[in-house]
Amino acid sequence: MSDRHADVAAVNHSAADVGGTVAALSKVPEVTLGFWLIKIFATTLGETGGDAVSMSMNLGYAVSSVIFMGIFVVVVIAQVAAKAFHPFLYWTVIIATTTAGTTMADFADRSLGIGYPGGTLVLFVLLMATLGAWYRSAGSISVDTVTSPKVEMFYWVAILFSQTLGTALGDWMADTNGLGYEGGALVFAVALAAIAGAYLYTNVSRTLLFWSAFILTRPLGATLGDLLDKPVDNGGLAFSRFYASAILAAIIVACIVLLPQRAGKHPGEQRQGT
């Protein structure tokens, strides 16, 4: 385990020479199976944690959204200011986006009264606008290009909107379409399996597949979180939101410690020796 963390530190403070080209290291992790596993756990924690604060603590969606957005701002500033990839810091920001996404989506869907379809549409437009602005500014929306503060800010705003969109989409599928939490989770799991198949067996844009998978893992986590903590009469298992959140947080910590966490590489813009 110590060797693995030593490898991460070494990678973070060096540039890899690939084919005579220096590869700039990103502050986001390589997209591996471990990445997606932690992402699903993090999105499920976002659902149970967000509901714990807004519902179990009776703070409401608006106040909870303000709290979680404040946390997000603090940790994302720390992430952008960091000089290298730090797994725990990165995943802390991800969890902050999932909890904020949960309460903001619930606020839009329920408190503002625009409903699940309206909330989903608004959030989809905001996400597309963010990705469009990112592309116009940087010429790419690939996560492999997240090597500067400017691009990283686009990345995190897109992540925040994608998490919020995923929450609204998950609630819409599970509640409005009558699929229930198990049915909703199954639908999104099948969609993710189709994306995995496209990744393995087609030449479809990897960037498109990444963002599609990133969005769909959020409603999968949302429906799994609802399955854990909603009342039995509503199709859930009625677990304590705080208990479920604590278990999920412990699982995420274990995954970060045990699974390889390396910074992604962006093929370099500078030649060696220049």
Confidence of residue 258 (pLDDT cuts 50, 70, 90): very high
Write down the pLDDT at residue 13: 44
Write down the pLDDT at residue 130: 95
Question: What phi, psi does 14 have (nearest 5°)?
Answer: -140, 165
How far, in Å, CA of 28 to CA of 20, rounded?
Answer: 23
Write down the pLDDT at residue 141: 92
Write down the pLDDT at residue 6: 46
Domain positions in the chain? 2-12+22-260
Confidence of residue 239 (pLDDT cuts 50, 70, 90): confident
Average pLDDT score, the chain: 82
Write down the pLDDT at residue 17: 41
* Ranges 84-88, 186-190, 263-267: which has the least confidence: 263-267
pTM, two decimal places: 0.82
Query: How is residue 197 annotated by DSSP?
Result: H
Question: For residue range 9-55, what is the model confidence (pLDDT) as tens digits?
Answer: 444 444 334 333 334 567 888 888 899 999 999 989 988 899 899 98
Question: What phi, psi does 271 have (nearest 5°)?
Answer: -80, 150
Residue listed under structure tokens 């609802």: 226
Q: Is 15 helix (H, G, I), strand (E, B) or coil?
A: coil
Q: Which residues, other chains included, contact 216 with Cβ-Cβ below 8 Å and sequence gap of 6+?
A: 166, 188, 191, 192, 195
Statement: residue 273 has pLDDT above 50: no
Question: For residue range 181-236, what is the model confidence (pLDDT) as tens digits?
Answer: 777 778 888 999 999 999 999 999 999 999 999 988 888 877 787 778 777 776 67
Question: For residue range 242-251, what is the model confidence (pLDDT) as tens digits?
Answer: 998 999 999 9
Question: For residue range 51-70, what is the model confidence (pLDDT) as tens digits?
Answer: 899 988 999 999 999 999 99
